[in-house]
Structure 1
Amino acid sequence: MITTRSNHRLTVFAGVAAGAALVTSLAACSSGSGGGSSDDKTGAKITTINVWDPYPQYDDSSDWAKYLQSCAPEGTTLKRTTAATADLLNNLTTAVKEDNAPDVVMLDNPAVPEAASAGLVAPAEDVGIDTSGFDANLAGPGTVSGTTYGVPIGANTLGLYYNADILKKAGVDPASITSWDALNAALEKVTKAGDKGITFAGISGEEGVFQFLPWFWGAGANLKEPGSAQATEAGQLVSDWIGKGYAPKSAISDNQSASWDLFLTGKYAFAENGSWFAQAASTQKKFKAVMMPIPGKDGGSAPVPTGGEFVLAPTHKSNAAGHYAAAKQVIECLVGKDNQVKTADKLGYFAANKDQRQKQIDSDAIWKPWAAAIESAQGRTTDLGSAYTPTSAALSTALQSSLNAAGDADAVKQAFSAISAG
C-alpha cells in the first residue's frame, strides 16, 4: 500500500471475467519485445521495452508518464502498462509462467519477498542493478534470504495531519498530543466543540493494514504475534473511534484517497495519512494543515511503516540477457544517484538515499517534518519475509471486525483472538 502505496492508489475490485481480461491484456502488452531468442545467452537487443507500474491514477498525459517515457534508451520504444497494486503480483505470476513478462515491474514493497520466493523476479546481480547507497530500512524488503532483487524507487510513510484552525478553536495544543490518551482527549474536545474527529483508511486489504500498523506497533505489538494483547489494544483504539463518533463509519471501507478527501473538507481535526499528500496539504487554502508524528500508546512517536514500490526485473527464459540489459538501462534512469530526487518528486516520494533525500528536504520546507519519520520507518516484511502476506491478511480480517464492532470490547478481543487460534 500500501505504497499502497501502499497507499495513495485506489483499490480496484473486478469480477473474475474482468480480472482474467486484465491479465490477458497485460500479457499481450509484453509480447512486443523485439529481438527475442530461445538462447538466454545471446542478449539480442530489445527494441520495445515493456514497463508495468501500479499508478493508474497517472494517465499518459501525466508528468509521471512523460518522465517514464524519457527513460527509453536511444533506439527503443518504452511501452507502459499500469494496473492497481492489488492486481500486479497475480498478473506477473501469469506472465512469468508464460515467459511473457515485462522488462521492468514496480511492486509494492511487501510483495517483493513473495515475488522473489516464487521466482518471479531476477536477482539484481544477474541484471546488473546497482543496489548500493540506499538506506537499510528502506531497501530491506528487496533482499530475501541474502539475495537482493530490487531497489526502492522512492519511499513514503505515514503521519498525523491536523487542522490547526479546529485545534485552536477547541483549545487543543498540538504539542501536547504525545500519547493515545492525549489524542483521545483532543478528539473529545474537538467533537464537543462541534467539529469532527479523525479520518483514516480502514479498507480491507493491505492498504488498511498499512494504516493500522502505527497503532499496532505503537501499542508494542509484534507481527510475529499478531493476535497479542497489545494488538487487541490497537484494535480497540480505532474501534472506539467509530463507536464514539470520532471517526466516520465510512472509515471501514475508505481508502487513503477517500479519507484524505474527507479531511480536505475542513470539517475534521485529524487525518492519518501519507507523506505523498504533503504538497497538497501545503497548497490547499481552506485551512492550515500541519503534520505531526503519530503518537505511541504511552508516549513518544509510534513506529511507522515504509511505503513505496521497488523497481525490479521480472524473470525471463527466452533472451534473458537481452531483457535484463534493457531493464538495467531503465532502472538506472529511474534510480541512479543523479535521478533519484527527480523520480521521487514525480511520485511525491522521498529519495531512498539519505544524501539525495537531504537535497529534497533542503529545497522544499514541506518535507522537513517528515525527515525523522522516514528515517526511522520500519519495513513491513523485515521480520516475516514472504510470511508477511498471510499475516497481513489475518490482521485485515481482525481490523475489519473491530471497526464493525464500533467499540464492543468483546467483539474486538474475539477478532484478534481468532488470529492466535489460527
Structure 2
Amino acid sequence: MNATALKRKHLILVGAAASASALVLTGCSAGSGGGSADGDITLTITDTLSETSAPIYQEVYDACAAEVGVEVEATHVAGSGLIATVLQQASSRTLPDVLMLDNPDVQQIAASGALSALSDYGIDGEGFPQGIIDAGSYEGDLYGIAPIVNSIGLFYNVDTLAEAGVEPPTTWAELQDAAAALTSGESYGLAFSAANSFEGTWQFLPFLWSNGATEDDLNSVEAAESLQFVTDLVQDGSASSSVVGWSQNDVNDQFIAGNAAMMINGPWNMPKLNATEGLNYDVVQIPVPESGDTSIAPLGGETFTVPQTGDDAKMAKAGEFVDCITQDEHQLTMATGRGAVPSSTTAAAEAATENELIAAFVDTVADARARTALLGEEWPEAATTIYTGVQLALTGRASADEAFEQAAG
C-alpha cells in the first residue's frame, strides 16, 4: 500500500542500510526474444516490487524492452528504504534510468532536481483522471505516471449482512446503524486501521475529505465532525478499540476470521480474500455524510519516473519505456495480477466489466485525491498531525474538537 511518506532527515540517516538490503533480479529482453540486436542500451530499473508482484511486472518490462529496443535490469528495493536509496544515488550520481516512486514521494524527489519532466518524452497523462495527474506532478510539470492505482472501499460479508437484514450502507448514519446492528459477541460491525502511522491517516482521509474538510485546516468544524464520527464507532463498541494498533493487513485478517462484518481496505487484498474458502464478500464506496455527497478517498499507487542521469540517449529510451508500460494493455496485465485499477479511464472501464468487484474502486479512483495535491512537500507533516490526532481522540486523551490542535502542538 502505498500510504507512506518519510521525512528527508530520517531518510538520509537510514540510506546506507536500505541500499545494502536491495535485492537484484535481472530480466534480459533480448534473451526472451526481444531487445536490441546489438544490445547497445541496457536500462536499469529500480522499483519496490515484492517477490509476488515482480514476475507480473517483469512480463511487461520484457515486452516493452522488446518494443523499445533495449535490455533491462531491474532492482527491487523494499518500499520503506527506497527514498533513502534514491537520495543517496542522487548525491553519488548513480540514479537508475527508470525509477518507481510511491506517488506521495514524487514531489520531494522532483524538488531535489533528480527527475526529468515526462513532457520531454511526449507523456502527458491524457485519458487519466486528474487525481492521478496531480499525484505525479510538481509545480505544474508531470514527473511520474502510474500505470495502475488503488484506493480504499467498504468491504462487507454478504452472508452476514443478509442474515441480519442489513443493506450495505451508503451514508454515515447508515454505516453507524449497520455497524451497531452487526456487532455481536466477539464480532464487531466494522474494522479499520487507525494505526499511529501514515496508514492510519490514509484510512481516515475519506471521512475527512468527504465531509468537506481539508488537511490545511484541521481545526475546522468539518474536521472535528469527521473525527467525532469515527470516534463514536469505537466508543459505542461497533469497532474494536484495537483499531489504534491494527495495520491494514491486520484488518483484513480480522475480516477473514469473521471478527468483523465490514472493513475499510483496498483491492490489493482481493487475491487473499478470493482464496478464503466460504467467504462471500462484496465492496462498495466508503459511505458519505449525506446522501448525494461524493465519496472522496486517497489515491494510492506507484509512479514511474525518468531520473536525470546525464545520458541523453538512455533518458530518451527510458522515456519511451515508461510510455510503453503505461499503455492500456500493460495496465490491464499489471492490474489483474496485483488487484488494482488501471489508470486510464478506458482501461479502467474494461477492468470493471471483467471484474464486478473492482467496479467500486474504478468509481472511487475517478474522484480520488492525491495526498500531496494541496500541500505538496509539506504533506508528511499534515499526515503526522492527522494520525496523531486520530490516536488521541480514539484513546480518549483528547476530544474530537481539540485532538488535531493538540497533535499539531
TM-score (norm 2): 0.84
2:148 and 2:342 in contact (8 A); partners too: yes
Is 1:250 the counterpart of 2:242 in the alignment?
A: yes
TM alignment of 1:188-207, pairs within 5 A:
188-192=180-184, 195-207=187-199
**1:159 pairs with one of 153, 156, 168:** 153
Q: Quote the Cα distance in structure 2 between the aligned partners of 1:65 and 1:124.
A: 22
Aligned letter for 1:23? S
Q: Structure 1, unaligned stretches of length 5 or more?
A: 8-13, 31-44
Q: How many residues align?
A: 389
Deviation at 1:328, TM superposition (A): 2.2
Q: Quote the Cα distance in structure 1 between the aligned partners of 2:218 and 2:320.
A: 41
Q: Quote the Cα distance in structure 1 between the aligned partners of 2:127 and 2:120.
A: 19
Matching residue of 2:19:
23
Matching residue of 1:81:
76
Deviates more, 1:288-297 or 1:383-392: 383-392
Is 1:239 the counterpart of 2:231 in the alignment?
A: yes
1:58 and 1:64 in contact (8 A); partners too: no
TM alignment of 1:8-407, pairs within 5 A:
20-24=16-20, 26=22, 47-56=41-50, 58=52, 62-73=55-66, 74=69, 76-84=71-79, 86-127=80-121, 129=123, 131-174=125-168, 177-192=169-184, 195-282=187-274, 284-299=276-291, 300-317=293-310, 319=311, 321-405=312-396
1:78 match: secondary structure:
strand
> In the superposition, relative to structure 1, how do residues 248 and 52 fare at CA in structure 2: closer, same or farther (>3 Å)?
farther
1:305 match: secondary structure:
coil
Query: Cα deviations across residues 267-304 of structure 1 (Å, max 9, x unaligned)?
Result: 31111011333454455432321112211223345311
1:198 match: secondary structure:
strand
Q: Quote the Cα distance in structure 1 between the aligned partners of 2:46 and 2:394.
A: 34
Deviates more, 1:244-253 or 1:111-120: 244-253
1:294 and 1:301 in contact (8 A); partners too: no
How large is the RMSD of aligned CA atoms in angstroms? Answer: 3.0
> In the superposition, relative to structure 1, how do residues 25 and 329 fare at CA in structure 2: closer, same or farther (>3 Å)?
farther
Which structure has more relative contact order (CA 8 Å, sep 6+)? It is 1
1:121 match: secondary structure:
coil
2:252 and 2:265 in contact (8 A); partners too: yes
1:227 and 1:418 in contact (8 A); partners too: no
> In the superposition, relative to structure 1, how do residues 265 and 65 fare at CA in structure 2: closer, same or farther (>3 Å)?
farther
> In the superposition, relative to structure 1, how do residues 101 and 15 fare at CA in structure 2: closer, same or farther (>3 Å)?
closer
Aligned letter for 1:179? T
> In the superposition, relative to structure 1, how do residues 258 and 120 fare at CA in structure 2: closer, same or farther (>3 Å)?
farther
Q: Quote the Cα distance in structure 2 between the aligned partners of 1:59 and 1:356.
A: 20
> In the superposition, relative to structure 1, how do residues 403 and 54 fare at CA in structure 2: closer, same or farther (>3 Å)?
farther
2:152 and 2:267 in contact (8 A); partners too: yes
> In the superposition, relative to structure 1, how do residues 393 and 195 fare at CA in structure 2: closer, same or farther (>3 Å)?
closer
> In the superposition, relative to structure 1, how do residues 330 and 400 fare at CA in structure 2: closer, same or farther (>3 Å)?
farther
2:97 and 2:318 in contact (8 A); partners too: yes
Query: Cα deviations across residues 337-373 of structure 1 (Å, max 9, x unaligned)?
Result: 4422223223222111111222222223332333322
Aligned letter for 1:22? A
Deviation at 1:83, TM superposition (A): 1.2
Query: Cα deviations across residues 214-244 of structure 1 (Å, max 9, x unaligned)?
Result: 0111332112212323222222333333333
> In the superposition, relative to structure 1, how do residues 18 and 143 fare at CA in structure 2: closer, same or farther (>3 Å)?
closer
2:186 and 2:259 in contact (8 A); partners too: no
